[in-house]
Structure formats: structure tokens, C-alpha cells
Amino acid sequence: MGVTGHTFTMPAFDKVTLHTSRLLLRPLRPADAEGLLAAHSDPEVMRYSNMSAWTSIEQANELVEQGQRGAATGRHLCLGIIPHDAGTVVGTCTLYALSESDRRAEIGFLLGSHAWRKGYMAEALSALVQYAFLDLALNRLEADTDPRNARALTTLERLGFVREGQLRERWIVNGEKSDSAFYGLLFSDWERVHGPKAESGT
């Protein structure tokens, strides 16, 4: 592993594929751009995001390219979420800000509104969390979200994340200030719940 400051480079992520009972999670491809745009251009989906709703396919193409570069270099892992019965990307889940010395990473996630209320995000993040703890041997995962985003808060808490604080007016998007609720999940806490039931592998 190569070290640069407090970040580190893991083995390439471009071959990582995770499976759940209903979902395929894999690195992004150019063909995913339309599905990504559909999700990121929806004001309801982006309501509590730290960025504005997308307006062009070029933004989707850039996310695909960033994801491919990050996967190839091991700097971050952005996986498309693909339901088996749909075959198209409906959202993403991401590991980023990896720290070697602290064995820590942050997670991000986004899901198109047409895929809400099906439990997809909790299912996808459960697989990503297991991969982070068992395959990458991380000790801690972090997440932050707008405290008004009840859907995201519920998902994190169901996965065992603990709310550890709130950062006031951390983001300003389109002139609107918003706080950030900060969550953490330790491997030791996750292991107590999942223990030997969890199996590593991609």
C-alpha cells in the first residue's frame, strides 16, 4: 500500500463485485450514465445533498470517469446499485477518504426516488459495510448527512451507526445553509451483531 499524508491506496477496486439477494453492486460503467442522471437530476433525491441537482449528462459521465479512476488506483470505491429485476443502475454507494493509519473510511450513498421504499439502500450498504470490515480490515466507518434527512438517518441507524454529533451550518448549497449529523460505526460493534455469520469475499 502506498501512503500519501493521511490517505492510502488499497489494491485496485475495479474488479470488486458484491451480491445480495436482490442486488448487484459493481464499479460504474459508461452505460450507467443515464441511470445516474435520472437519480441526480431529481430535486427530491438531491434535497439534502451537499450539491445541486444535476442538469446534464456530462455530469453523469464525469462521475463514471471519477469512479473508474478511483477504483483503478484504489483511492475510493463507488459501486452502482443494480436490482436483479431491473438491470439498470438506480443509485450508488461509496467508500472514500480512506485512512491507512486509522483504518477508517467514509461512506456515501444515493438512490433514485423510483427505487425508494424497497429496502434497497439498507441491503446495499450492509454488503458494503461487510466488505469494508472483513475484506479491507477497516476499524471504523463514518457518515454524515443533513439531520432533516429522516430516510438517510433511519438507514444508518438500522445498520448500527451511532450518532456522534452535529456540525452546524457545514454546507451551503444554492444559498441554503444546512447542518451535518455525524455518524460512526466501529468494527467491534458490528462484529458483536454479525459475528461468524458474516463471510468475506467479492
Instruction: Output the CA torsion 49→55→61→66 (10° steps).
Output: -30
- Domain count for the chain, please give it: 1
Q: What is the CATH number of the domain that holds 93?
A: 3.40.630.30
181 inside domain: no
167 inside domain: no
| Structural domain boundaries, residue 104 | 2-142
Q: For 18-35, write each residue's pLDDT tens digit.
A: 999 999 999 999 999 999
Q: For 70-87, write each residue's pLDDT tens digit.
A: 999 888 999 999 999 988
The model carries a pTM of 0.89
63 inside domain: yes
Dist CA 85 CA 64 (whole Å)? 23
- Provide the pairing of β-strand 140-145 with 176-186: antiparallel
199 inside domain: no
pLDDT for residue 199 = 56
Percent of the chain beyond pLDDT 70? 92
191 inside domain: no
Of 184, 180, 141, 142, the C-alpha closest to 163 is 184
Residue 202 has pLDDT above 70, yes or no: no
Find out whether 122 and 158 touch, Cβ atoms under 8 Å.
yes
